[in-house]
């Protein structure tokens, strides 16, 4: 899991990268929670998602937004962080020019950024959004949403009510060309605490079912 340095819009972006299996390995990019509330690429939910994809043969990149860790720059209220994510995806694609698929996964604020990147990059074939903050940010740009995906939420989330995520998924599913699955983990709060295994299980099962490029995970 080597450290990598990416040339971002405001300078250096710090990342961690894992090379996938085979010359045409699929790729996945992971986006962390709000930089001003302690969010980093080492967030436990982000790392859990990262592990789920690496186990399935993806080339995976997680990184720190500007101003976090060793990444240069300052928080830019989402617009700059979207530019960071686009630069990170460019970097990931440059090392995997023949990738068979491209996925994006984000947690909380990172889910909001990820969905915006999804709208701008038609090569993204699938997404996983964990606790997307539908009550805090405007998701109306998903009109229409260009790819199907999965939303995972905690049943006891008191920061982003599950009803707001359900309404977002329902709105996207009103479109005819994509399907968003919603999975609620009972008793889990916004940070998922003791339910990280459930996050990995649900994310992994979704990728297994919807990716045409996945390397099957050995079952115990």
SS3 54: helix
CA–CA gap between residue 79 and residue 50 (Å, rounded): 24
pLDDT at 218: 55
158-161, Cβ contacts within 8 angstroms, sequence gap of 24 or more: 158/189, 158/190, 159/131, 159/133, 159/189, 159/190, 160/108, 160/131, 160/132, 160/133, 160/134, 160/135, 160/136, 160/190, 161/135
For residues 113 and 104, what is the distance between their CA atoms, to the nearest angstrom?
Answer: 10
Contacts of residue 193, defined as CB under 8 A and 6 or more positions apart, other chains included, come to none
Per-residue confidence in pLDDT tens, the chain, 220 aa? 689 999 999 999 999 999 998 889 999 999 999 999 999 999 999 999 999 999 999 999 999 999 999 999 999 999 999 999 999 999 999 999 999 999 999 999 999 999 999 999 999 999 999 999 999 999 999 989 999 999 999 999 999 999 999 999 999 999 989 999 999 999 999 999 999 999 999 999 999 999 998 876 654 4
Domain boundaries, the chain: 3-210
Q: Phi/psi at 28 (nearest 5 deg)?
A: -150, 140
pLDDT at 93: 98
Question: How far from each other are the two terminal CA atoms of the chain, in whole angstroms?
Answer: 24
Q: According to the model, what pLDDT value does residue 217 have? A: 66
CA 133 to each of CA 42, 77, 107, 154: distance values in angstroms, whole numbers, following the listed order: 20, 14, 9, 12
Query: What pTM, to 2 d.p., does this model score?
Result: 0.97
pLDDT of residue 214: 82
For 3-210, CATH number out of 1.10.287.90, 3.30.450.40, 3.40.50.300, 3.40.50.1820 equals 3.40.50.1820
Whose structure tokens read 């994310």? 203
What pLDDT is recorded for position 23?
84
């Amino acid at each position: 899991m080597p450290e990598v340095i990416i040339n971002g819009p405001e300078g250096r972006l710090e990342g961690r990268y894992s090379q996938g299996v085979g010359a045409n390995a699929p790729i996945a990019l992971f986006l962390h929670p709000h930089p001003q509330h302690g969010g980093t690429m080492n967030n436990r939910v982000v790392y859990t998602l990262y592990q789920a994809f690496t186990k399935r043969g993806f080339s995976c990149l997680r990184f720190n937004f500007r101003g976090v860790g060793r990444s240069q720059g300052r928080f830019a209220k989402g617009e700059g962080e979207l530019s960071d994510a686009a630069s990170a995806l460019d970097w990931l694609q440059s090392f995997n020019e023949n990738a068979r698929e491209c996925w994006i996964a984000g947690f909380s604020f990172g889910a909001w950024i990820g969905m915006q990147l999804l709208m701008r990059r038609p090569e993204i074939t699938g997404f996983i959004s964990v606790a997307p903050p539908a009550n805090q940010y405007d998701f109306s740009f998903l009109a229409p949403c260009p790819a199907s995906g999965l939303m995972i939420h905690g049943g006891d989330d008191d920061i982003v009510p599950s009803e707001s995520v359900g309404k977002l998924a329902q709105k996207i599913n009103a479109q005819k060309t994509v399907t968003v699955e919603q999975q609620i983990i009972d008793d889990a709060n916004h940070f998922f605490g003791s339910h990280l295994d459930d996050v990995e299980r649900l994310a992994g099962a979704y990728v297994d079912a919807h990716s045409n490029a996945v390397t099957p995970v050995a079952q115990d």
